Amino acid sequence: MDESLQEKLRRLGVKKGARDLKIPPPKPYAPLPMPAEEQPVSFRPPVAGDDDDIPVLEALLPGGEVIETAVGSCFIVDRVYPLTYRHGDDLLGELLELSPEHTSLQDEQLRDLNFRHFLFLDTETTGLAGAGTLAFMVGVAFFADDAFVVRQYFLRDHGDEAAMLTLLNDLLADKEGLVTFNGRSFDLPLLDGRYLINRMFSDLLDKPHIDLLHPARRLWRTRLGSCALSSLEKTLLGVHRTQEDIPGWLIPSLYQEYLRSGDARELLRVFYHNQIDMLSMVTLATRMTRLTAQTAANPHPIDQYSLGKWQA
């Protein structure tokens, strides 16, 4: 390289070798963004033991099993309680000492029936309205010998629906009546519609039915205000849910996330929520029937006034 060219390069700041190069100061720290598919799907903090292996539903819910039918399969899990189990302030078996005809006044269909042959029912759904709403979980409960059984039918995907409806029909066949909370307006019409869509027959709407919401409003709205089941648990029944519970409005999104990921761990809270709903219906029916049959000990004067208005 001739002298004139070296001089020109030197004037431009070009130097031979890296010895005299200045290291630029470090840039402020900024973590690289995650790829879109790895973005966290919730704000739930990591749980000790979380890993890439998604546990199967049967491992999360001991005793649960997949039942095969002629039209497919469905996941079912049972919980069995002794009649002496106390939920809130009452024992489950105490309801068997009472008659359904006293629970809902002026309903002749309930005459001479027995709670031992009734089915308690509650659904968890993908939404609140519309033809596309699906009951992805149907919880039922019933007395069997010296026990009370809570059974939950769960759709691992939408293709399990026909099997679930078939199994529910089989159980309904030997039940005299139904007990729900707001089932007259929501659960039963929804299930009846799903039977129609699947071209299946059900006598769900023909069975004697006690919807506990309506007598609860007649008996306790004057004194307690809200007659939502969660409110009645706190103000009337002595039921206290644990932190395992989940607000009802979050349930559809948890199911959608399960369908996307296949991870059912967060859905355990939905199973708990549904299970407590059904146990609380038993306690509520007991408290209600004692009041209407006038066998309650020391009833509140305002409740007696509300009962008198209903009977008038």
- Could you tell me the residue range of the domain that residue 267 belongs to? 59-311
pLDDT tens digits along 55-64: 888 889 999 9
Q: How confident is the model at residue 12 (pLDDT cuts 50, 70, 90)?
A: low
CA distances from 11 to 14, 22, 274 (A): 7, 17, 81
User: Is position 289 within any domain?
Assistant: yes
Count up the domains in the chain and report the number. Answer: 1
User: Is position 96 within any domain?
Assistant: yes
Q: And the tokens for 7?
A: 């001089």
Residue 91 has pLDDT above 70, yes or no: yes
User: Is position 35 within any domain?
Assistant: no
Query: Which residue matches tokens 């649960």?
Result: 64
**CATH number for position 163:** 3.30.420.10
pLDDT tens digits along 149-178: 999 999 999 999 999 999 999 999 999 999
**Rounded mean pLDDT of the chain?**
85
User: Is position 28 within any domain?
Assistant: no
Residue type, 239: V
What gap in Å lies between CA 32 and CA 27, rounded to an integer? 13
Lowest-pLDDT choice from 16-25, 28-37, 128-137, 172-181: 28-37
Strands (E) located in the chain: 65-69, 72-82, 86-87, 90-91, 118-125, 135-144, 147-154, 177-180, 209-211
User: Is position 7 within any domain?
Assistant: no
What gap in Å lies between CA 278 and CA 260, rounded to an integer? 28
User: Is position 21 within any domain?
Assistant: no
Residue 141 has pLDDT above 80, yes or no: yes
pLDDT tens digits along 238-249: 999 998 999 999
Q: How confident is the model at residue 103 (pLDDT cuts 50, 70, 90)?
A: confident
According to the model, what pLDDT value does residue 109 have? 86
Q: For the chain, what percentages of helix, strand and coil (3-state, to nearest 5) are there?
A: 45, 15, 40
User: Is position 48 within any domain?
Assistant: no
User: Is position 147 within any domain?
Assistant: yes
